[in-house]
Structure 1
């Protein structure tokens, strides 16, 4: 069995690399997908495809249309969603992706530090599993592959 795992979360640091490395070390049969990790490309994809936009607001809307399209397609293909909330960055996209996954009845593992228990209590309550570290999330996935 191979799982498709959507990694929802901010694209400003390398948390996905950590998850992919540990998953490989654990020999988990998973294929990771997620948002465009190249921030500049994500911000500019609307103009790359549609051409120069008249102002920054319309440029942002053009990019969001294409990024939301990517997210919807990949979320629908995913077997599991891991939603990562860290301490450093605002997490609006993570909350949106986790909520979308839940509305699609996708299993969600929420990663959040103890300091975010209160602001994420409702989302955590809806997630299938809530953990504090990426390693714990991968241990949850690993359990899916155990037979005895």
Structure 2
């Protein structure tokens, strides 16, 4: 059995690579998908596909529509969602993806530092599991195969 895992969360560091490499070291049968991690490509995709937009609002709206479609398709294909909340960046996209996953009834693991317990309390309460580290999230995923 192989699981598709959607990795939701900020795109400004290599946490996805770290998780994927650790999963590979453990020989876990996981396939990873997630948001577009090329920030410029994500921001520009609306104009790339639809052409020049008349202003910033329309530019962002066009890109958001395409990115949201991509996210919805990949979340629907996912067996499990892992959403990482870090301390350094704004976490709107992570919260949106985690909320959408929960609304789609996707099993969801939230990774968040202790400092975010209070601001994420409602989301953590709705997720299946909340952990503090990537290794703990992998332990949860590994347990599925035992």
Specify the TM-score bucket, using the shorter chain as the normaliser: over 0.9
Aligned to 1:133: 133
1:10-42 CA distances to partner (integer Å, 9 max, x unpaired)?
111111111111111111100000000100000
Structure 2 unmatched ranges of 5 or more: none
TM-score, scaled to structure 1: 0.97
Distance (Å, rounded) in 1 between the aligned partners of 2:48 and 2:2: 34
RMSD: 0.6
2:115 alignment partner in structure 1: 115
Q: How does 1:13-32 map to 2 (within 5 A)?
A: 13-32=13-32
Deviation for aligned residue 1:135? 0.9
Distance 1:134 1:53 in 2: 39
Q: Which residue pairs with 1:10 in the alignment?
A: 10
Residue 89 of structure 2: SS of its match in structure 1? coil
Q: Deviations over 1:31-87 (max 9, x none)?
A: 000000100000000011011111111100000000000000000000000000001
Shift of 1:98: 0.5
- How far residue 113 of structure 1 moved from its aligned partner, in angstroms, is 0.3
Name 1:144's counterpart in structure 2: 144
| Mapped partners of 2:78, 2:71: distance in 1 | 10
TM-score of the superposition, structure 2-length normalised? Answer: 0.99
| Residue 61 in structure 1 maps to residue 61 in structure 2 | yes
Between 111-120 and 48-57, report the one with greater CA deviation: 48-57
